[in-house]
C-alpha cells in the first residue's frame, strides 16, 4: 500500500439498454443489458493512499473537484473492504466528454475501482471488480471487460455483475460517435430512470421487450450476424427513448442535431450502406457499422458536422494497469 496505482478503463455503449433500478442504493437494475466496449474513449485514473491526508483529494483533468461526494462515498466502500482508514489522492483523466451520454461514468468508475482496490491492497478478480464498479455507476460494471459484455441484473450485491460475452470480438463492427454536445445533461440518467420507472405507463412492456432484445443480440453475437445485432440495437435504443417521452413530466435527451444524424443514417441505409444508430441518455448518436462502410459514413456525416465531432471506434480492451 501507499504506492500509486494507475488503471485504464474504456467506455462501453449498451446495445440493449438498462433503464431503471430495483435498488437505487446498490444500483441493481430492473433488466440485464449487453454492451460493446470502445477503444476511442477511456479514463486513466491514479490512486495513492497517503497517511498524512485528512480527506480524499480528487483531481479530474488536473482540476481539483469540490463536488466529489459520489467519489468519496465510493472510496469509503473501498476502505471498508480493505479494512483501512487512510485517505487517498486521486488523479483522473477523462478522454471522453463528461456526463454527455458517452459513458464517461462507466470508464471513470471502472478505472477508479481497479486503481483504488489495488492501491488499497485488495486483489479482486474481474467479477469482484465488476461488482465494485457497479456501486459507482451501473454501466461501469460492463467497462471492466473488453469487447462484448453482459451485465446480469441479479437480485442483490452479490449476484449483480457483468461477464464477458466475447473478447476479442469476432464480428466486423465499428462504432462512430457523433459528439453533438459536450455539456453535462440537464436530467441525469439516475433522475431520468426514476421518473420513467414511476410514471411511464409503458415501463413493464419495456422490460419484457428489452429482455427479448437482449437474447436476440446475444444470439447475433454468437452467430456473427451484424444485421440482426444492428437492427435490434437501433430499435432497443428508440424504445428506451420512448420511455422518456411517455413519462410525467416528459423529458428528452435528443436534440435537433440528434435527429439530423438519425435521418442521415436512414438515408445511408436506403442507399445501400448498412448502418444503424444508438443513443444513450444524451444527444450524442453512435452509428454502428462495419469497417468497409466507415469512410462512406464519415464522408456523409462530415458534410453535416465538423470532423472533430466524429470519432471512429473499434472494440476496446478490458481494464488494465499502466
pLDDT tens figures, 112-161? 999 999 999 999 999 999 999 999 999 999 999 999 999 999 999 999 99
pLDDT of residue 314: 97
Q: Which of 151, 169, 187 is the last residue of a domain?
A: 169
Q: Are residues 31 and 162 both part of a single domain?
A: yes
Please tell me the predicted confidence (pLDDT) of residue 262. Answer: 97
* Pairing verdict, β 33-49 and 148-152: antiparallel
- Report, as an integer, the average pLDDT of 4-25: 96
Task: Indicate if 24 and 148 belong to the same structural domain.
Answer: yes
Mean pLDDT (whole number) for 272-301: 95
66 and 202 share one domain = no
Nearest-angstrom CA–CA distance, 160 and 293: 37
C-alpha cell at 282: 444524451
User: Quick one: cell of 184?
Assistant: 453535462
Domain boundary among 113, 135, 169: 169
Residue 282's pLDDT band (cuts 50, 70, 90): confident
Q: Which residues are paired to 23 by β-bridges?
A: 28
Final residue in a domain of this structure, among 142, 169, 196: 169
- Spatial separation of the C-alpha atoms in residues 21 and 73, rounded to whole Å: 19
More confident residue, 127 or 182: 127
Q: Above 90 in pLDDT, residue 66? A: no
Q: Which residues are registered as beta bridge partners of 174?
A: 289
Distance CA 160, CA 30 (A): 11
Give the helix ranges, DSSP H, for the chain.
Answer: 69-82, 104-119, 126-134, 189-199, 203-223, 226-245, 256-270, 294-302
What is the number of H-type helices and E-type strands within the chain?
A: 8, 14
Mean pLDDT taken over the chain: 94
Residue 77 lies in a domain: yes
Q: Can you tell me the mean pLDDT for 25-41?
A: 96
Cell numbers at residue 321, please? 494497469
Q: Are strands 88-95 and 57-60 parallel, antiparallel or unpaired?
A: parallel
138 near 27, Cβ under 8 Å?
yes
pLDDT band at 103 (very low <50, low <70, confident <90, very high): low
- Quick check: 59 and 92 in contact, CB under 8 A? yes
Instruction: Give pLDDT, residue 53.
Output: 95
Q: What is the CA radius of gyration of the chain?
A: 19
Residue 268: the pLDDT is: 97
Is the same domain home to 232 and 247?
yes
Q: Which CATH number belongs to the domain containing residue 250 in this structure?
A: 3.30.70.890
Instruction: Determine contact, residues 146/117, Cβ cutoff 8 Å.
Output: no
CATH of the domain at 149: 3.30.230.10
Q: Regarding predicted confidence, which is higher, 316 or 283?
A: 316
pLDDT reported for residue 308: 86
Cis ω before 155 (30° cut-off from 0): no
CB 24 within 8 A of CB 238: no
Confidence band of 67 (pLDDT split at 50, 70, 90): confident
The 8-class DSSP code of residue 4 comes to: -
| Strand partners for 289 | 174
Work out the average pLDDT over 65-74: 91
3-state secondary structure 254-282: CCHHHHHHHHHHHHHHHCCCCCEEEECCC
Question: How many domains is the chain built from?
Answer: 2
Residues 292 and 144 in one domain: no
User: Is the domain of 182 the same as that of 140?
Assistant: no
Indicate if the pLDDT at residue 98 is higher than 60. Answer: no
Domain that holds residue 290: 174-313
* Statement to judge: residues 270 and 283 lie in one domain: yes
What φ, ψ does residue 110 adopt, rounded to 5°?
-65, -45
- Rounded CA-CA distance 232/213 in Å is 6
DSSP 304: T
Question: Considering the chain, what percentage of its residues have pLDDT values greater than 70?
Answer: 97
Query: Is 71 strand, coil or helix?
Result: helix
* Cα distance between residue 285 and residue 44, in whole Å: 24
Are 229 and 163 contained in the same domain? no
Determine the average pLDDT of the residues in 201-212: 97
Q: What is the mean pLDDT of residues 258-266?
A: 96
pLDDT tier for residue 180 given thresholds of 50, 70 and 90 = confident
Residue 100 pLDDT > 60, yes or no?
Answer: no
Mean pLDDT across 68-86: 96
**pLDDT at 182 (0 to 100):** 67
Amino acid at each position: 500500500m501507499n504506492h500509486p496505482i494507475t488503471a485504464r478503463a474504456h467506455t462501453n455503449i449498451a446495445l440493449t439498454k438498462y433503464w431503471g433500478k430495483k435498488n437505487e442504493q446498490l444500483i441493481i437494475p430492473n433488466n440485464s443489458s449487453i454492451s460493446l466496449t470502445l477503444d476511442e474513449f477511456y479514463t486513466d485514473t491514479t490512486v495513492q493512499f497517503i497517511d498524512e491526508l485528512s480527506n480524499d483529494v480528487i483531481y479530474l483533468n488536473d482540476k481539483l473537484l469540490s463536488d466529489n461526494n459520489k467519489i468519496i462515498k465510493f472510496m469509503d466502500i473501498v476502505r471498508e473492504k480493505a479494512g483501512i482508514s487512510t485517505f487517498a489522492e486521486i488523479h483522473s483523466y477523462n478522454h471522453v466528454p463528461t456526463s454527455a451520454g458517452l459513458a464517461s461514468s462507466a470508464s471513470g468508475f471502472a478505472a477508479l475501482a481497479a486503481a483504488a482496490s489495488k492501491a488499497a491492497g485488495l486483489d479482486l478478480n474481474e467479477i469482484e471488480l465488476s461488482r465494485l464498479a457497479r456501486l459507482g455507476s451501473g454501466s461501469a460494471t460492463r467497462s471492466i471487460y473488453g469487447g462484448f459484455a453482459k451485465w446480469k441484473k441479479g437480485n442483490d450485491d452479490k449476484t449483480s455483475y457483468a461477464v464477458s460475452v466475447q473478447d476479442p470480438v469476432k464480428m466486423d463492427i465499428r462504432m462512430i460517435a457523433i459528439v453533438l454536445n459536450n455539456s453535462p445533461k440537464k436530467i441525469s440518467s439516475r433522475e431520468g430512470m426514476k421518473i420513467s420507472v414511476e410514471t411511464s405507463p409503458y415501463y413493464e412492456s419495456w422490460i419484457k421487450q428489452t429482455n427479448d432484445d437482449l437474447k436476440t443480440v446475444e444470439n447475433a453475437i454468437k452467430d456473427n450476424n451484424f444485421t440482426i445485432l444492428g437492427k435490434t440495437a437501433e430499435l432497443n435504443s428508440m424504445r428506451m427513448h420512448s420511455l422518456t417521452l411517455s413519462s410525467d413530466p416528459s423529458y428528452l435527451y435528443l436534440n435537433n442535431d440528434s435527429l439530423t444524424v438519425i435521418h442521415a443514417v436512414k438515408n445511408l441505409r436506403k442507399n445501400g450502406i448498412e448502418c444503424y444508430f444508438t443513443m444513450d441518455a444524451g444527444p450524442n448518436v453512435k452509428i454502428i457499422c462495419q469497417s468497409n462502410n466507415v469512410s462512406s459514413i464519415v464522408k456523409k456525416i462530415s458534410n453535416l458536422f465538423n470532423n472533430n465531432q466524429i470519432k471512429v471506434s473499434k472494440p476496446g480492451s478490458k481494464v488494465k494497469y499502466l
